[in-house]
Amino acid sequence: MKKTKKIVSVILVIIILTMILSIHTNTFAYEIEEDTDYIWLKEEISNVSTDPIKEPKLSSRYALVLDRDSKAILYSKDENKRVPMASTTKIMTAIVLIENLGVNNDFTLNTQIEVCKQAGAIGGSRLGLKTGDKITINDLLYGLMLCSGNDAAIQIAVSIGGSVEGFANLMNQKAEELGLKDSHFVTPHGLDMPEHYTTAYELALIADYALNIEKISEVVKTKTYTVAINGNSKTITNTNELLGYLNGVNGVKTGFTNGAGRCLVTSVNRNGFNIITVVLGADTKKIRTKDSISLIEYTYANYERIDLEQLINEKFNEWRKINEKRINVYKGKKNNIKVKLGDCKYKIYPIKKDNINDINIAMENIQINFEAPVSINSKLGNLILSIGENELMDIEILTNENIERKGIGDYIFECLENIRY
């Protein structure tokens, strides 16, 4: 009987341990980086590059291509759905770190800190920190963005925000500052939490903002880097499989959790044409890689950056030469008035090559008669730029000077001039 009870107890312990391990695994799902088959990667790049014209058919659940200059969306798939984003969270972590150095603290990138117990104990992808280790904030940043260290993320949060919760508040404040409506942060590392989410679109905006910070831009394009932990060197490698293998790729961040699936945010610059691609919810690393390549090659094959500002100015100047003298100002000290254009929202804009000939610029709602006084920047009409039937810009045509109303003296002077001649 005692032997039976002992066996039952052992079985129960095994079941409980299995359950605990299962919970732990689900909670701390992380970037277990599959061995990257770079032969396959090169073949995939070659395959996609030779047939890039068709619109991509993606397996990833959510995707987006963002033009960095105009912020135009060039491709999207369910881009506004709130979803978990795994370690791509660390893009925001890096932003908050850089922008809070020296704010209510004396930290710089060269400041050496001691690793706390919470950072030393965190699971998932790690830089390899233990409680009590000494490391600089600069090396924490590289560990955060290259090898996706959750331990680095926790230590950054505790050092900068005082706690994970305090740092999450800073992350959400930054999200609000950036005008993000569908992003909310609970952790600095991105492990699955119910209230931790973003969208493909807003994640692209976060990445775009981050890349404007010189230090972050420098870090995310780094393939390998050597950090120092307790004075001992350790070389780490960037988890971004496209970095160094696909033309123009210069960032940004990978991610994986059970809830988020495989994720990849990629920045690319080819001849000044800067884009960000986002794929979220891919089932495998190969799928996220293939989908990212497809989006990148599709974009560069099908879109061309057009100098719309130049086209607009040329068209407007032609119109002004013919029409400016036709604008009458009654009872004004001048009979005609100079005009100008308001602000051009998009200067350089990516347009599908098939649609370039469909660009149309027209002047509409033009007012040609005014009664003085007329103030500078009074609206005279609109310049409308359309691509096919889709209106892209509505620019106000404005007066470019003040015209005062004639006084009695002006009329007397006119009469005398008329009498003279």
* Mean pLDDT across 96-102: 97
Same domain, 351 and 397: yes
Residues 261 and 344 reside in one and the same domain: no
Statement to judge: residues 285 and 397 lie in one domain: no
| Residue 2 scores a pLDDT above 80 | no
DSSP, residue by residue, 85-147:
-GGGGHHHHHHHHHHHTTSSS---TT-EEEPPHHHHH--SS-----TT-EEEHHHHHHHHHTS
Domain count, the chain: 2
Q: Which of these is catalytic: 87, 159, 292, 294?
A: 87
Is the domain of 168 the same as that of 267? yes
Residue 30 located in a structural domain: no
pLDDT, position 8: 47
Q: How far is CA 263 from the centre of its chain?
A: 15
At position 29, the amino acid (one-letter code) is A
pLDDT at 333: 87
DSSP assignment, residue 244? T
Name the pLDDT band for 415 (thresholds 50, 70, 90): low
Strands in 144-187 per DSSP E: none
In sequence order, what are the residues at sequence separation of 6 or more whose Cβ sits closer than 8 angstroms to the Cβ of residue 380?
A: 327, 339, 366, 367, 396, 397, 398, 399
Catalytic residue among 60, 77, 90, 286: 90
Residue with more model confidence, 2 or 382: 382
- Which tokens hold the place of 332? 């004004």
Check whether 22 has a pLDDT greater than 50: no
CATH for 369: 2.60.410.10
Amino acid at 246: L
- 339 and 320 Cβ atoms separated by less than 8 Å: yes
221 annotated active-site? no
- For the chain, the farthest-separated pair of C-alpha atoms sits apart, in whole angstroms, at 134
Partners of 262 in the beta sheet? 256, 282
User: In this predicted model, what pLDDT tens digit does every residue of 351-397 receive, in sequence order?
Assistant: 999 999 999 999 999 999 999 999 999 999 999 999 999 999 999 99
- Output the average pLDDT for the chain: 89
Alpha-carbon distance of 109 to 401, in angstroms, equals 52
User: Would you state the pLDDT for residue 363?
Assistant: 97
In the listed set 266, 288, 303, which residue is the last one of a domain according to the structure? 303
pLDDT > 60? residue 14: no
* Catalytic annotation, pick one of 148, 267, 292, 294: 148
DSSP-derived 3-state class of residue 396? strand
375 is catalytic: no
Task: Look at residue 175 and tell me if it is in a domain.
Answer: yes
Say whether both 170 and 228 belong to one domain.
yes
The answer to the question of residue 158 being in a domain is yes
Q: What is the bridge-based pairing of β-strands 328-330 and 369-371?
A: parallel
- Evaluate if residue 114 carries a pLDDT over 60: yes
| 3 pLDDT more than 60 | no
Give the model's confidence band at 401: pLDDT under 50 very low, under 70 low, under 90 confident, else very high: very high
Domain stops at, among 303, 336, 366: 303
SS3 222: coil
Domain identity same for 124 and 216: yes
Contacts of 173 (CB under 8 A, 6+ apart): none
DSSP symbol at 404: P
pLDDT at 30: 46
Q: Is 310 inside any structural domain?
A: no
For residue 41, is it within any domain?
Answer: no
pLDDT at 35 exceeding the cut of 50: no
Q: What is the pLDDT of residue 332?
A: 86
Query: CA–CA separation, 221 vs 238, rounded Å?
Result: 9
Domain with residue 115: its CATH number is 3.40.710.10
Contact 92, 174 (CB under 8 A): yes
Q: What is the mean pLDDT of residues 20-47?
A: 53
Q: Do residues 92 and 222 both lie within one domain?
A: yes
Report the alpha-carbon distance of residue 227 to residue 216 in Å, rounded.
Answer: 16
pLDDT one-digit tens code per residue, 259-318 = 999 999 999 999 999 999 999 999 999 999 999 999 999 999 999 999 999 999 999 999
What is the per-residue pLDDT for 306? Answer: 97
Residues of the chain with pLDDT > 90, as a percent, come to 80
Q: Specify the residue for token string 């005082």.
A: 162
Residue at a domain's end among 287, 303, 319? 303
Give the predicted TM-score (pTM) of the model. Answer: 0.87
Give the residue ranges of DSSP H helices in 261-368.
285-302, 308-323
Distance set, CA 108 to CA 100, 103, 184, 246, 312 (Å) = 10, 10, 27, 34, 47
Domain that holds residue 85: 50-303
Same domain, 62 and 209: yes
pLDDT of residue 55: 83
Does any domain span residue 10?
no
Domain co-membership, 60 together with 175: yes
In a domain, 347, yes or no: yes
Is residue 131 within 8 Å of residue 61, measured between CB atoms?
no
- Is 39 domain-assigned? no
Distances (CA, A) of 126 to 32, 57, 122, 161, 389: 10, 34, 8, 20, 52
Please write the tens of the pLDDT for every residue from 64-89.
999 999 999 999 999 999 999 999 99
Confidence at 141, pLDDT banded by 50, 70, 90: very high
pLDDT tens for each residue of 187-228: 999 999 999 999 999 999 999 999 999 999 999 999 999 999
Please indicate whether residue 90 is annotated as part of the active site: yes
pLDDT class of 412 with cuts at 50, 70, 90: low
As beta bridge partners, residue 227 has 234
Residues 235 and 293 in one domain: yes
Same domain (yes/no): 245, 388: no
Burial (CB count within 10 angstroms: exposed 0-12, middle 13-18, buried 19+), residue 201: buried
Are 191 and 338 contained in the same domain?
A: no
